[in-house]
Structure 1
Amino acid sequence: MRIVKQLIEGKREIYSIGPDQPVLAAIQLMADKFVGALLVMRGDELLGIVSERDYARKVILKGRSSSDTPVRDIMTADLITVSPHETVHRCMRLVTDKHIRHLPVVENGNVVGMLSIGDLVKSVIDDQAEQLEQLQRYISG
Protein backbone atom coordinates (compact mmCIF):
# COMPACT_ATOMS: atom_id res chain seq x y z
CA MET A 1 0.00 0.00 0.00
CA ARG A 2 1.27 3.42 -0.93
CA ILE A 3 1.80 6.29 1.45
CA VAL A 4 0.66 9.89 1.07
CA LYS A 5 4.16 11.14 0.29
CA GLN A 6 4.17 9.04 -2.89
CA LEU A 7 0.88 10.55 -4.03
CA ILE A 8 1.77 14.19 -3.44
CA GLU A 9 5.16 13.91 -5.16
CA GLY A 10 3.47 13.82 -8.55
CA LYS A 11 0.92 16.53 -7.81
CA ARG A 12 1.07 20.07 -9.02
CA GLU A 13 1.12 23.10 -6.76
CA ILE A 14 -1.08 23.72 -3.74
CA TYR A 15 -3.91 26.16 -4.38
CA SER A 16 -4.98 28.50 -1.61
CA ILE A 17 -6.85 31.71 -0.92
CA GLY A 18 -6.83 34.24 1.90
CA PRO A 19 -9.67 34.32 4.45
CA ASP A 20 -10.65 37.91 3.62
CA GLN A 21 -11.01 37.29 -0.13
CA PRO A 22 -14.55 37.21 -1.51
CA VAL A 23 -16.12 33.82 -2.14
CA LEU A 24 -16.43 34.77 -5.81
CA ALA A 25 -12.61 34.87 -6.08
CA ALA A 26 -12.42 31.40 -4.52
CA ILE A 27 -14.97 29.96 -6.94
CA GLN A 28 -13.18 31.58 -9.87
CA LEU A 29 -9.82 30.13 -8.77
CA MET A 30 -11.34 26.65 -8.33
CA ALA A 31 -12.81 26.87 -11.84
CA ASP A 32 -9.55 28.13 -13.34
CA LYS A 33 -7.48 25.38 -11.69
CA PHE A 34 -10.07 22.59 -12.09
CA VAL A 35 -10.14 21.80 -8.37
CA GLY A 36 -13.01 21.34 -5.96
CA ALA A 37 -11.44 22.94 -2.89
CA LEU A 38 -8.87 25.49 -1.81
CA LEU A 39 -6.86 25.74 1.36
CA VAL A 40 -7.57 28.94 3.28
CA MET A 41 -4.25 30.36 4.40
CA ARG A 42 -2.82 33.49 5.93
CA GLY A 43 0.79 33.38 4.83
CA ASP A 44 2.02 29.91 5.80
CA GLU A 45 -0.72 29.41 8.42
CA LEU A 46 -3.45 26.93 7.50
CA LEU A 47 -6.79 28.32 8.68
CA GLY A 48 -9.28 26.11 6.91
CA ILE A 49 -10.58 24.78 3.63
CA VAL A 50 -13.28 26.06 1.31
CA SER A 51 -14.99 23.79 -1.20
CA GLU A 52 -17.65 23.87 -3.87
CA ARG A 53 -19.86 22.11 -1.34
CA ASP A 54 -19.34 24.98 1.14
CA TYR A 55 -20.30 27.42 -1.60
CA ALA A 56 -23.46 25.53 -2.51
CA ARG A 57 -24.62 25.08 1.07
CA LYS A 58 -23.47 28.29 2.72
CA VAL A 59 -23.85 30.86 -0.05
CA ILE A 60 -26.28 29.72 -2.74
CA LEU A 61 -28.83 28.01 -0.47
CA LYS A 62 -28.73 30.88 2.02
CA GLY A 63 -29.14 33.58 -0.61
CA ARG A 64 -25.83 35.26 0.18
CA SER A 65 -23.77 37.28 -2.26
CA SER A 66 -20.63 35.63 -3.65
CA SER A 67 -18.92 38.97 -4.09
CA ASP A 68 -19.80 40.33 -0.62
CA THR A 69 -19.20 37.21 1.48
CA PRO A 70 -15.62 36.63 2.65
CA VAL A 71 -14.18 33.12 2.44
CA ARG A 72 -13.72 33.01 6.25
CA ASP A 73 -17.53 33.06 6.65
CA ILE A 74 -18.05 29.81 4.75
CA MET A 75 -14.77 27.90 5.20
CA THR A 76 -14.46 24.76 7.26
CA ALA A 77 -12.05 25.57 10.08
CA ASP A 78 -12.19 22.26 11.95
CA LEU A 79 -9.75 20.49 9.64
CA ILE A 80 -8.71 16.89 9.43
CA THR A 81 -5.14 16.72 8.15
CA VAL A 82 -2.77 13.86 7.44
CA SER A 83 0.98 13.38 7.50
CA PRO A 84 2.96 12.43 4.40
CA HIS A 85 3.68 9.13 6.16
CA GLU A 86 0.03 8.03 6.44
CA THR A 87 -1.11 5.13 4.32
CA VAL A 88 -3.59 5.57 1.51
CA HIS A 89 -5.79 3.00 3.29
CA ARG A 90 -6.00 5.18 6.42
CA CYS A 91 -6.78 8.25 4.31
CA MET A 92 -9.57 6.36 2.53
CA ARG A 93 -10.97 5.43 5.92
CA LEU A 94 -10.87 9.10 7.03
CA VAL A 95 -12.64 10.50 3.97
CA THR A 96 -15.24 7.74 4.16
CA ASP A 97 -15.91 7.97 7.90
CA LYS A 98 -15.85 11.78 8.06
CA HIS A 99 -17.72 12.34 4.75
CA ILE A 100 -15.04 14.67 3.41
CA ARG A 101 -13.46 14.92 -0.02
CA HIS A 102 -10.15 16.66 0.62
CA LEU A 103 -7.25 16.11 3.01
CA PRO A 104 -4.56 18.72 3.57
CA VAL A 105 -1.15 17.10 4.05
CA VAL A 106 0.85 18.70 6.87
CA GLU A 107 4.38 17.99 8.04
CA ASN A 108 6.04 19.81 10.95
CA GLY A 109 3.27 22.42 10.89
CA ASN A 110 3.73 23.18 7.19
CA VAL A 111 1.30 22.38 4.38
CA VAL A 112 3.09 20.12 1.90
CA GLY A 113 0.18 18.97 -0.23
CA MET A 114 -3.49 18.29 -0.67
CA LEU A 115 -5.22 15.03 -1.52
CA SER A 116 -8.67 14.61 -3.00
CA ILE A 117 -10.82 11.54 -2.77
CA GLY A 118 -10.11 11.11 -6.50
CA ASP A 119 -6.37 10.87 -5.80
CA LEU A 120 -7.02 8.19 -3.21
CA VAL A 121 -9.40 6.17 -5.38
CA LYS A 122 -6.95 6.26 -8.29
CA SER A 123 -4.18 4.99 -6.03
CA VAL A 124 -6.31 2.12 -4.75
CA ILE A 125 -7.32 1.16 -8.30
CA ASP A 126 -3.69 1.29 -9.45
CA ASP A 127 -2.61 -0.92 -6.52
CA GLN A 128 -5.37 -3.43 -7.25
CA ALA A 129 -4.48 -3.56 -10.95
CA GLU A 130 -0.84 -4.19 -10.04
CA GLN A 131 -1.80 -6.98 -7.63
CA LEU A 132 -4.06 -8.57 -10.24
CA GLU A 133 -1.27 -8.46 -12.81
CA GLN A 134 1.14 -10.11 -10.35
CA LEU A 135 -1.38 -12.85 -9.59
CA GLN A 136 -1.96 -13.48 -13.29
CA ARG A 137 1.81 -13.78 -13.87
CA TYR A 138 2.09 -16.15 -10.90
CA ILE A 139 -0.74 -18.35 -12.16
CA SER A 140 0.62 -18.35 -15.70
CA GLY A 141 3.99 -19.48 -14.42
Structure 2
Amino acid sequence: MLINQLLNTKGRQVFTVTPDDTLSAVAALLYTRKVGAFVVTDRVDRVIGIISERDIIRAIAQSGPESLTQPVNKFMTKDVVSAHLGETVETLLSRMTDRRIRHLPVMEGVRLVGIISIGDLVKARIAASEHEAETLKAYITAG
Protein backbone atom coordinates (compact mmCIF):
# COMPACT_ATOMS: atom_id res chain seq x y z
CA MET A 1 0.00 0.00 0.00
CA LEU A 2 1.26 3.46 -0.88
CA ILE A 3 1.24 6.31 1.63
CA ASN A 4 -1.00 8.31 -0.71
CA GLN A 5 -3.65 5.56 -0.35
CA LEU A 6 -3.21 5.48 3.42
CA LEU A 7 -3.71 9.25 3.66
CA ASN A 8 -6.82 9.01 1.46
CA THR A 9 -8.28 6.65 4.07
CA LYS A 10 -6.88 8.25 7.23
CA GLY A 11 -7.20 11.87 6.23
CA ARG A 12 -4.68 14.59 5.55
CA GLN A 13 -5.22 16.88 8.51
CA VAL A 14 -1.95 17.99 10.08
CA PHE A 15 -1.68 20.01 13.27
CA THR A 16 1.21 22.44 13.30
CA VAL A 17 2.80 24.76 15.82
CA THR A 18 5.26 27.61 15.50
CA PRO A 19 8.84 27.59 16.76
CA ASP A 20 7.93 30.36 19.24
CA ASP A 21 5.13 28.42 20.97
CA THR A 22 6.04 27.32 24.49
CA LEU A 23 6.48 23.69 25.43
CA SER A 24 3.64 24.12 27.92
CA ALA A 25 1.25 25.33 25.21
CA VAL A 26 2.30 22.49 22.92
CA ALA A 27 1.84 19.91 25.70
CA ALA A 28 -1.70 21.20 26.26
CA LEU A 29 -2.43 21.02 22.53
CA LEU A 30 -1.06 17.47 22.30
CA TYR A 31 -3.44 16.48 25.07
CA THR A 32 -6.42 18.35 23.58
CA ARG A 33 -5.90 17.07 20.03
CA LYS A 34 -5.07 13.53 21.25
CA VAL A 35 -1.97 13.30 19.05
CA GLY A 36 1.64 12.45 19.81
CA ALA A 37 3.47 15.09 17.78
CA PHE A 38 3.15 18.36 15.91
CA VAL A 39 4.98 19.51 12.85
CA VAL A 40 6.75 22.82 13.45
CA THR A 41 6.41 25.28 10.56
CA ASP A 42 7.81 28.72 9.89
CA ARG A 43 5.90 31.81 8.76
CA VAL A 44 5.66 30.56 5.16
CA ASP A 45 4.53 27.05 6.19
CA ARG A 46 7.88 25.34 5.58
CA VAL A 47 8.57 22.34 7.81
CA ILE A 48 11.42 23.25 10.15
CA GLY A 49 11.00 20.65 12.88
CA ILE A 50 8.82 18.23 14.76
CA ILE A 51 7.98 18.25 18.45
CA SER A 52 6.70 15.13 20.17
CA GLU A 53 5.68 14.02 23.63
CA ARG A 54 9.07 12.34 23.85
CA ASP A 55 10.85 15.66 23.11
CA ILE A 56 8.90 17.39 25.88
CA ILE A 57 9.74 14.67 28.41
CA ARG A 58 13.40 14.89 27.40
CA ALA A 59 13.36 18.69 27.86
CA ILE A 60 11.88 18.41 31.36
CA ALA A 61 14.34 15.66 32.32
CA GLN A 62 17.34 17.67 31.09
CA SER A 63 16.33 21.23 31.99
CA GLY A 64 13.65 20.87 34.65
CA PRO A 65 10.09 22.15 34.73
CA GLU A 66 11.18 25.68 33.72
CA SER A 67 11.72 24.24 30.22
CA LEU A 68 7.95 24.36 29.82
CA THR A 69 8.19 28.15 29.50
CA GLN A 70 10.80 27.88 26.74
CA PRO A 71 10.05 28.01 23.00
CA VAL A 72 9.63 24.85 20.96
CA ASN A 73 12.64 25.69 18.78
CA LYS A 74 14.98 24.95 21.70
CA PHE A 75 13.80 21.35 21.98
CA MET A 76 12.25 20.31 18.67
CA THR A 77 13.83 17.75 16.39
CA LYS A 78 15.32 19.87 13.62
CA ASP A 79 16.58 17.06 11.39
CA VAL A 80 13.13 16.00 10.21
CA VAL A 81 12.79 12.62 8.56
CA SER A 82 9.84 12.69 6.19
CA ALA A 83 7.80 10.45 3.92
CA HIS A 84 6.62 10.93 0.36
CA LEU A 85 3.29 9.97 -1.19
CA GLY A 86 4.73 7.25 -3.43
CA GLU A 87 6.48 5.32 -0.65
CA THR A 88 5.14 2.06 0.73
CA VAL A 89 3.97 1.18 4.21
CA GLU A 90 6.73 -1.44 4.47
CA THR A 91 9.46 1.04 3.52
CA LEU A 92 8.30 3.53 6.12
CA LEU A 93 7.88 0.90 8.84
CA SER A 94 11.50 -0.02 8.28
CA ARG A 95 12.65 3.64 8.30
CA MET A 96 10.76 4.42 11.48
CA THR A 97 11.98 1.29 13.25
CA ASP A 98 15.60 1.86 12.25
CA ARG A 99 15.55 5.50 13.38
CA ARG A 100 13.34 4.90 16.43
CA ILE A 101 10.80 7.55 15.47
CA ARG A 102 7.02 7.47 15.72
CA HIS A 103 5.81 10.24 13.40
CA LEU A 104 6.65 11.22 9.83
CA PRO A 105 5.45 14.35 8.05
CA VAL A 106 4.36 13.45 4.52
CA MET A 107 5.69 15.78 1.87
CA GLU A 108 4.84 16.47 -1.75
CA GLY A 109 7.90 18.37 -2.86
CA VAL A 110 8.32 21.04 -0.19
CA ARG A 111 4.60 21.08 0.71
CA LEU A 112 3.33 19.34 3.85
CA VAL A 113 0.38 17.13 2.87
CA GLY A 114 -0.11 14.83 5.87
CA ILE A 115 1.41 13.05 8.82
CA ILE A 116 1.58 9.38 9.64
CA SER A 117 2.37 7.58 12.85
CA ILE A 118 3.85 4.17 13.33
CA GLY A 119 0.41 3.16 14.61
CA ASP A 120 -1.15 4.16 11.28
CA LEU A 121 1.39 2.00 9.44
CA VAL A 122 0.95 -1.01 11.73
CA LYS A 123 -2.84 -0.76 11.40
CA ALA A 124 -2.55 -0.66 7.59
CA ARG A 125 -0.15 -3.62 7.56
CA ILE A 126 -2.45 -5.70 9.78
CA ALA A 127 -5.45 -4.88 7.58
CA ALA A 128 -3.50 -5.93 4.48
CA SER A 129 -2.42 -9.19 6.12
CA GLU A 130 -5.98 -9.98 7.20
CA HIS A 131 -7.25 -9.27 3.68
CA GLU A 132 -4.59 -11.53 2.21
CA ALA A 133 -5.48 -14.33 4.64
CA GLU A 134 -9.18 -14.04 3.83
CA THR A 135 -8.43 -14.08 0.09
CA LEU A 136 -6.30 -17.22 0.48
CA LYS A 137 -9.01 -18.92 2.55
CA ALA A 138 -11.61 -18.14 -0.10
CA TYR A 139 -9.32 -19.45 -2.83
CA ILE A 140 -8.62 -22.70 -0.97
CA THR A 141 -12.26 -23.37 -0.13
CA ALA A 142 -13.36 -22.61 -3.70
CA GLY A 143 -11.03 -25.39 -4.81
Query: Normalising by structure 1, what TM-score?
Result: 0.95
In structure 2, what is the Cα distance between the partners aligned to 1:19 and 1:102? 18
Q: Which amino acid letter does the alignment assign opposite residue 19 of structure 2?
A: P
Alignment of 1:97-116 (within 5 A): 97-116=98-117
Would you say 1:96 and 2:97 are equivalent positions? yes
In structure 2, what is the Cα distance between the partners aligned to 1:24 and 1:138? 55
Report the CA distance between 1:68 and its aligned residue: 1.7
Alignment of 1:25-40 (within 5 A): 25-40=25-40
User: How many pairs does the alignment contain?
Assistant: 140
**Runs (4+) off by over 4 Å:** none
In structure 2, what is the Cα distance between the partners aligned to 1:60 and 1:127? 39
In structure 2, what is the Cα distance between the partners aligned to 1:66 and 1:30? 16
Match for residue 20 of structure 2?
Answer: 20
Match for residue 7 of structure 1?
Answer: 6
In structure 1, what is the Cα distance between the partners aligned to 2:69 and 2:27? 13
CA displacement 1:6-54 (0-9 Å, x = unmatched): 1112325100100011011111111111000000011311010000000
1:65 partner SS? helix
Q: Which amino acid letter does the alignment assign opposite residue 30 of structure 1?
A: L
Q: Which amino acid letter does the alignment assign opposite residue 78 of structure 1?
A: D
Gaps of 5+ in 2: none
Q: Which has the higher helix share?
A: 2
Tell me, yes or no, if the aligned pair for 2:59 and 2:67 is still in contact at 8 Å.
no
Tell me, yes or no, if the aligned pair for 2:12 and 2:115 is still in contact at 8 Å.
no
**Percent identical residues:** 37
Q: Which amino acid letter does the alignment assign opposite residue 37 of structure 2?
A: A
CA displacement 1:61-120 (0-9 Å, x = unmatched): 431425421000110000111111100110001001111000110112000000000000
